[in-house]
Amino acid sequence: MPADRLNAELATELEELAAAGLNRRRRVLESRCGRIATVDGREMLNFAANDYLGLAGDPAIAQAMANAALAWGAGSGASHLVSGHLVPHETIEQGLAAFTGFPRALSFSTGYLANLAVTPTLAGRGDAVFADKLNHASLIDAMQLAKANGATVQRYPHNDVAALERLLAASDARRKVIVTDAVFSMDGDLAPLPALFELAERHDAWLVVDDAHGFGVLGPQGRGSLAHFHLPASPRVLLMGTLGKAAGVGGAFVAGSATAIDYLLNKGRSYIFTTAAPPAVAGALACSLQLIADGDALRRRLFERIARLRDGLAGLRWPLLPSPTAIQPLIVGDNAAAVALSQALWERGLWVPAIRPPTVPKGTARLRISVSAAHEAADIDRLVDALKELA
C-alpha cells in the first residue's frame, strides 16, 4: 500500500536518527514544575527546566490564574484583532511595556510566534537581515521567512562584532535588521548588546533582541538584558521576551516604539492569524510580573547557586562554557557519550538533559544544566559530586 511505503520512509529516517544517537523522547511529569520532579514514579532533582526563579509552581501565580479563569472564562474565543483581546490581555501588555521601558508591547501565545512576527514583517525585498550564527531556531526560521519575502540574509560568526560591521558597511539595503539572542540558549553567554546597538545607530539599522533567557533574570528588578547593559528603550530596538521561563507561566511579548508595535499588529502574520491566549494566562502573568519586580532576593539566590556550581565543577575533564547565566553547558563532545552521561545522572536521581546536533554544532554535544533559584545549596553539591564521581 502507498501509505505503508510513506510510513516506511519515515521509519527508516527514525532508525538513522537512533543509530546516530540523535533520537529524542519525551518524559511525562507526574508533578508540577519545580526543583523536584516526579517522573515515571521516581523523584528526580530537576536541572532540566528553564524555571530560573522557581515561579512555575508558585501558589500565588496559580491562584491568580484560577481567579482570572473564573472571571474571564477558559478561552479567548478569537484572535486579538477579531474579538479575542480581553481586559487581562490589555493589562499585561501595558504592564510589560512599563516594566521594560518601551511605549508599547504586544502579547503572543509563544516566543516562537513572536519571533516569526518580527523579522519577516520588517524585512522583505530590498532589505537585509544580519543574524548571529548561534541564534535560536525560531529566529532562524524567521530569517528564512524574510528570505522567502525577498530579503537578503547574512549570518555573522557568533558575537563577532567586527564581521557584522563589515557586512553592514558593505550593504546598500533599503532597510537593515540586526537579529540576535541576548542570552544564547545553548551556550548561556551574552550578546555584546552595547556594541550591536552602536552599530545599529551608526548604520541606521533595526536591532531585534530575543531576551527569552534574560527577561526576569538580568538587569535591575529583572528587567532584562537591555537594562543589564544600561541600554535605552530606543525606537530602533524591538525586544522579544518569553514568559514561560523566568516568568513561570507562558506566552511572550514584543516591546518597542508605538509605531513599530502598531506595524506588527497590522502586518505580523503570526499575530494576526492566531487565536489569543486564554485570558487566565494574562491574569497569571500580572502576578508573575510583580513577583519578578520584587524578586531581588530570588535573583541573588540564583547567582549564588550558579557560582557554587561553577566553583564545584572547575577542573573537571568536561569543561563548562564561560556562561554567567543560569544556562550552564558542560561540553562532552560525542553524542553517545553525552547521552550516556545524562543517563548515568538520571540513574542517580539527577535530571540533566543531553543536547545534541542539530540543536548544537556537531562535536559539541553537551549536558545543559539549568540552575534555578529554587535549588538548595545541597542540590548543587549533589550534582557536582555525581559528575566528579562519573569523571
The residues assigned a catalytic role are 185, 213, 245
CA–CA separation, 98 vs 269, rounded Å? 25
Separation of first and last alpha carbons in the chain:
51
CA–CA separation, 353 vs 43, rounded Å? 16
Beta 104-108 vs 252-256: how paired, if at all? antiparallel
Beta 237-242 vs 206-210: how paired, if at all? parallel
Would you give the distance in Å from CA 108 to the centre of its chain? 14
Using an 8 Å Cβ cutoff, are 115 and 136 in contact?
Answer: yes
What order do you get walking across the sheet with 327-333 strand by strand? 327-333, 365-370, 354-355
Reference 232, options 197, 259, 208, 202; nearest CA is: 197
Helix (H, G, I), strand (E, B) or coil at 270: helix
User: How many C-alpha atoms does 131 have within 13 Å on its Cβ side?
Assistant: 26
CA–CA separation, 149 vs 70, rounded Å? 43
Using an 8 Å Cβ cutoff, are 129 and 177 in contact?
Answer: yes
The alpha-helical segments, DSSP class H, found in 126-239 are 137-148, 161-170, 193-202, 225-228
Q: How many CB atoms lie within 10 A of CB 146?
A: 25
The alpha-helical segments, DSSP class H, found in 101-192 are 111-122, 137-148, 161-170
H, E, C per residue of 36-70: EEEECCEEEEECCCCCCCCCCCCHHHHHHHHHHHH
CA–CA separation, 28 vs 65, rounded Å? 23
Q: Residue 363 has which C-alpha cell?
A: 562535536
Q: How many residues does the chain have?
A: 391
The amino acid present at 203, given as its one-letter code, is H
